[in-house]
């Protein structure tokens, strides 16, 4: 069983305007563990990035004139390019997933653009990132980790969002709202893939009491749900949404963070990158 949670719930409402959200994205699976759930302590955080196979992804670093430097996975050449997962020079990691809200509704909603980049540039810890509550605008799901804790944020329309934080357990998310007072924002019929992936990642996390980087890699590669409903999705058709990348970071209590990235760009052989913290931020 996953160890008991020590959680702090924050109910926050914001009404900040922003840019218009582009056409609805596809899907992702997010999962993380902290404290006694991680072998040797610290935290683990992962994202399986699912999207249409119509673009490429690269790894690169950003060195703004002010704030923290960061390194991340970027999408290039599609209708929503930009940073999809990242880690900064203080060891803060941020990943996100798309909310299952119809495209026409999303297009009419305000949204904070480059949310991941803003959090990485401005924050050294989970607590600091959560202080930027006015940035959580535009439906999506966000997972944040530092060396000591992880946080899951569900962002609903009109800037409503809810947060759960743990320093000793596992958190996970797919593409539908699960916090009780936000479930009403789900469509009448939640997508089968989101439901199946949610059940599967929960099942895999509950099988063990502690995890390491290699075990998170194994979870990311699970194909038990078939081509469209697995954690690693191959897609049942050439144009189907599929897993295009895996991003996993181990943040030990002491020592250098370790980064694992698997990129499966369309029409290219998958590549695996194992980087130390120092190598990534060169």
Round to whole Å and give the CA distance between 207 and 114: 35
> What is the pLDDT, as a whole number, of residue 158?
85
Looking at residue 277, what DSSP letter applies? H
Spatial contact of 13 and 7, defined as CB atoms under 8 Å apart: no
The 3-state secondary structure of 198-258 reads HHHHHHHHHCCCCECHHHHHHHHCCCCCHHHHCCCCCCCCCCCCEEEEEEEEEECCCCCCE
Q: What is the CA radius of gyration of the chain?
A: 17
Q: Is residue 79 part of a domain?
A: yes
Q: Is residue 35 part of a domain?
A: yes
Number of domains in the chain: 1
* Local confidence band at 87 (pLDDT 50, 70, 90 cut-offs): very high
HSE-up of residue 265 (Cα within 13 Å, Cβ side): 14
Q: Is residue 1 part of a domain?
A: no
Q: Is residue 91 part of a domain?
A: yes
Q: What is the model's pTM?
A: 0.91
Q: Is residue 2 part of a domain?
A: no
Report the CATH number that the domain containing residue 229 is assigned in CATH: 3.60.60.10
Say whether pLDDT at 10 is over 50.
no
Minimum mean pLDDT among 20-29, 31-40, 84-93, 141-150: which range? 20-29
> What is the pLDDT, as a whole number, of residue 107?
78
Other C-beta atoms within 10 Å of 76: how many? 12
> What is the pLDDT, as a whole number, of residue 26?
58
Q: Is residue 204 part of a domain?
A: yes
Domain that holds residue 90: 7-280
Mean residue pLDDT across the chain? 90
């Amino acid at each position: 069983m996953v160890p008991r949670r020590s959680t702090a719930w924050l109910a926050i409402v914001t009404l900040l305007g922003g840019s218009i959200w582009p056409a609805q994205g596809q899907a992702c699976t997010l999962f993380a563990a902290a404290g006694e759930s991680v072998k040797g302590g610290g935290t683990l955080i992962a994202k399986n990035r699912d999207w249409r196979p119509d673009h490429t992804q690269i790894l690169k670093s950003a060195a703004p004139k002010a704030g923290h430097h960061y390194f991340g996975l970027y999408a290039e050449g599609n209708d929503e390019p930009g940073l999809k997962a990242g880690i900064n020079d203080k060891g803060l990691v941020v990943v996100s997933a798309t909310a299952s809200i119809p495209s026409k509704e999303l297009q009419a909603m305000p949204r904070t653009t480059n949310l991941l980049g803003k959090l990485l540039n401005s924050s050294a810890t989970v607590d600091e990132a959560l202080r930027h509550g006015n940035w959580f605008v535009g439906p999506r799901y966000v997972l944040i980790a530092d060396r000591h804790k992880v946080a899951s944020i569900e962002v609903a329309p009109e800037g409503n969002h809810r947060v759960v934080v743990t320093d000793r357990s596992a958190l996970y998310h797919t593409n539908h709202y699960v916090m009780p007072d936000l479930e009403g924002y789900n469509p009448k019929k939640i997508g089968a893939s989101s439901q199946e992936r949610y059940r599967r990642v929960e099942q895999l996390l509950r099988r063990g009491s502690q995890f390491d980087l290699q075990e998170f890699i194994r979870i990311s590669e699970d194909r038990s749900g078939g081509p469209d409903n697995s954690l690693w999705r191959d897609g049942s058709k050439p144009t189907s949404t599929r897993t295009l990348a895996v991003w996993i970071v181990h943040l030990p209590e002491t020592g250098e963070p370790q980064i694992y990235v698997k990129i499966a760009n369309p029409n290219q052989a998958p590549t695996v990158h194992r980087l130390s913290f120092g190598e990534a931020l060169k």
